[in-house]
Amino acid sequence: MAKGEGAEQSSNATLLQKPASQDEIKLASKHEQRGRLSVCSKLCYAVGGAPYQITGCALGFFLQIYLLDVALLDPFYASIILFVGRAWDAVTDPTVGFLVSRSPWTRFGRMLPWVVLSTPFAVLCYFLIWYVPPFEDGKVIWYLVFYCLFQTLQTCFHVPYTALTMFISSEQKERDSATAYRMTVEVLGTVIGTAIQGQIVGLANAPCIPVGDEFNVTTTMSMSEVNISEPRISLTHTRNAYMIASGVICAIYILCAIVLFFGVREIKEISKPKSERMSFVQGICLVMRHVPYAKLVMGFLFTSLGFMLLEGNFALFCSTTLGFRNDFQNILLVIMLSATLSIPFWQWFLTRFGKKTAVYFGSSSVIPFLILVACVESNLVVTYIVSFMAGVSVASAFLLPWSMLPDVVDDFKVANPETQGHEAIFYSFYVFFTKFASGVSLGISTLSLDFAGYITRGCSQPKEVHLTLKILVSAAPIFLIIIGLIIFVTYPINEERRQGNRKLLQEQRDNEVDSETDSTELGNLV
C-alpha cells in the first residue's frame, strides 16, 4: 500500500512539474553525455603522454652513460649536469603550473595551446642534447644549457597535459579510465624510447679501452691514441647513432602532439576557474596545507626516487658490473615490455582491491628481485628473469601516482568548495618534488662513481665502482621504497572516503544542473 501511495505521489509531482522536469532531464542528460569520453578521445588523450615518457626514458637510461663514455665528460661534470638539469626542471614545474592555472580561455582551450607552442622548441633542444659539439672548452656549458632548456619546454608540455585529466570529463570513472589509457600508452612510450635509443645505439656501442695494472687515468685525455677493443666501430659511429635515435624520437614527439591537439576537446565549463585568482605563494600554501596531498606527495617522493635511482644507474650496472656490455639495451627493453603488459593487471587490481592496497603490493614486489640481481653472480638468463619481474613493479610506479592524484584533487574540492581552478598546481608540485629529489640522487650517484674511481670508457672498473653500482641499484632503492610505504600507512583517502567524495561532487554538479534549469525556466517565463 505504501509503495502504491509513493508511486502515486511521484506521479502527481511529475504531472504538476512536467515542463520543468522535462527540461531538467534534458539538461541532466546533456551533462551526463558531456562527461562521457569516447574510446577515440581516450586514445588521443593517452597518446599525448608518450613524448614525456619516450624522452624521459631515453634520458634516464642513457644520458649518464652518454655523457661519460660518448661525450667523454669527467664524472664530476656529468654529475653537475644531471643535478642542475633535474633541479632546474623541478623549479620550473610549479612556476609553469601557476602560469597555466592563470591562463585565459581560448578557442582551443586553456591547456592545449601550451602543448602546441612548446613542442617545436622542445624538439630542437632535445636533438642538441645528443649532439657532441666540435669544441672541448664549452662542452659542459653546451649540455647544461640545452638540457635545462629542454626540461623547461617539456614542462610547458607535460604540466598542462597532466592537468588536462581534470578537464576532459567531469566524471571520475571516465577520468580513471582515461588515466588507465594514458598509463598504458606512457609505459608503451618507455618501451619505444628504450627500443629506439637502445637498439640503434646498441648497434654502435662506444668502444672501451683495455685496462691493465699499469693503466694511467691521465692517458684517457688522448683517446684517439689508444687501441680500442672494437676497431671496426669508432666513437664517431657511436655519436652518429645517438643523433639518429634522437631524430626518430623528435619525429614521434611532434606526431603525438598533433594527435593530442586535434583529438581532444577541453570542456569550457570545467576549465573555467570558479574562484578569484591568488598569488603564487598563496597557491603554494593552499596546496601544501591539504594533508592528503602532502602525504601522497611524500609517499611517492620516496618510492619514485627509488625507481628513478634504479633507472638512472641500471644501464651502467648491466654493462659494467654484470659485464653485459652488448646486451644491456635488451635487458632494459625487457623491463619496459613487462611493465607495459602489467598495466592492465594493476588497473584491475586497484579497481578490485583499492588504490592504497595496490601501492603496498606494487612497490614492495620489486624488493626481492633487487636483492637477487645484486647478490647472484653474473648470469644473463637470471638477469632477464629478474628484469621481467621487476618490470611488473615498475608498472605500478607508473600508474598509481597519476591515478591517485585526481582523488586528492577531488578531496580538496570537497573540503574547499569555493576554491577551484588550481588543478595544475597540484600536478606541478607533485612533479616538482619528485624531479628535484631525482636530480639530487642522480647527481650524488654520478659523483659517487667519480669518488669510487670510475674510468671513462674503461673495459673494466675498480672493485669500488662495482660496489657503488650495487648499492645504487639495490640497497638504496629498497631503503627509499620502504620509507615511502611507511608514509602511505597514514594516507587518509581510502576507498570509502574516495567514494564519499565522488557522491558529494556529483551532488554539487546536480545542484549546478538544477540552478541552470531554474535559470532557463525563469528566462522562458520572462
- Residue-by-residue DSSP string for 273-299: --S----HHHHHHHHHT-HHHHHHHHH
For 345, the grid coordinates are 593487471
Res. 5: pLDDT tops 50: no
pTM metric for this prediction: 0.67
- For residues 489 and 442, give the distance between their C-alpha atoms in angstroms, rounded to a whole number: 27
- For residues 138 and 105, give the distance between their C-alpha atoms in angstroms, rounded to a whole number: 42
Q: Residue-wise over 387-416: b if at least 16 C-beta within 10 A, else e?
A: bbbbbbbbbbbbbbbbbbbbbbbbbbbbee
> What Rg do the C-alpha atoms of the chain give, in angstroms?
26
The residue count for the chain: 526
Residue pair 152/92 in contact by the 8 Å Cβ criterion: yes
pLDDT value of residue 185: 85
Find all residues with CB under 8 Å of 389, minimum gap 6, and list them: 338, 365, 369
Residue type, 113: P
Res. 207: pLDDT tops 80: no
For helices 112-129 and 139-163, the axis angle rounded to 10 degrees is: 160
- For residues 132 and 143, give the distance between their C-alpha atoms in angstroms, rounded to a whole number: 9
Res. 494: pLDDT tops 60: yes
Res. 355: pLDDT tops 90: no
pLDDT value of residue 510: 66
- For residues 429 and 163, give the distance between their C-alpha atoms in angstroms, rounded to a whole number: 12
273 by Cβ neighbours in 10 Å (0-12 / 13-18 / 19+) ranks as middle
Full set of structural domains in the chain with CATH: 40-209+234-267 (1.20.1250.20), 277-518 (1.20.1250.20)
For 301, the grid coordinates are 617522493
- For residues 468 and 79, give the distance between their C-alpha atoms in angstroms, rounded to a whole number: 15
Q: Residue-wise over 350-373: b if at least 16 C-beta within 10 A, else e?
A: beeeebbebbeebbbebbebbebb
Beta bridge partners of 106: 109
For 326, the grid coordinates are 652488448
Res. 20: pLDDT tops 80: no
For 431, the grid coordinates are 612533479
3-state secondary structure of 225: helix
Confidence class for position 8, pLDDT limits 50, 70, 90: very low
End-to-end CA distance of the chain: 42
Neighbours of 380 (CB within 10 A): 14
Residue type, 290: H
Q: Is 459 left (phi over 0), alpha (psi -120 to 50) or beta?
A: alpha
- Stretch 452-471: mean pLDDT, rounded? 82
Higher pLDDT, 83 or 120: 120
Q: State the average pLDDT for the chain.
A: 77
pLDDT over 90 for what percent of the chain? 11
Res. 37: pLDDT tops 80: no
CA–CA distances in Å: residue 267 to residues 112, 170, 180, 431: 12, 9, 20, 25
Q: Residue-wise over 8-35: b if at least 16 C-beta within 10 A, else e?
A: eeeeeeeeeeeeeeebbeebbeebeeeb
Beta bridge partners of 458: 209
- For residues 504 and 500, give the distance between their C-alpha atoms in angstroms, rounded to a whole number: 6
For 389, the grid coordinates are 619481474
Neighbours of 462 (CB within 10 A): 14
For 498, the grid coordinates are 574516495
CA–CA distances in Å: residue 50 to residues 54, 331, 364, 503: 6, 21, 26, 32
309 by Cβ neighbours in 10 Å (0-12 / 13-18 / 19+) ranks as buried
The backbone torsions φ and ψ at residue 109, rounded to the nearest 5 degrees and listed phi first, read: 115, -165
pLDDT value of residue 219: 43
pLDDT in tens, 88-106: 877 787 788 778 877 777 7
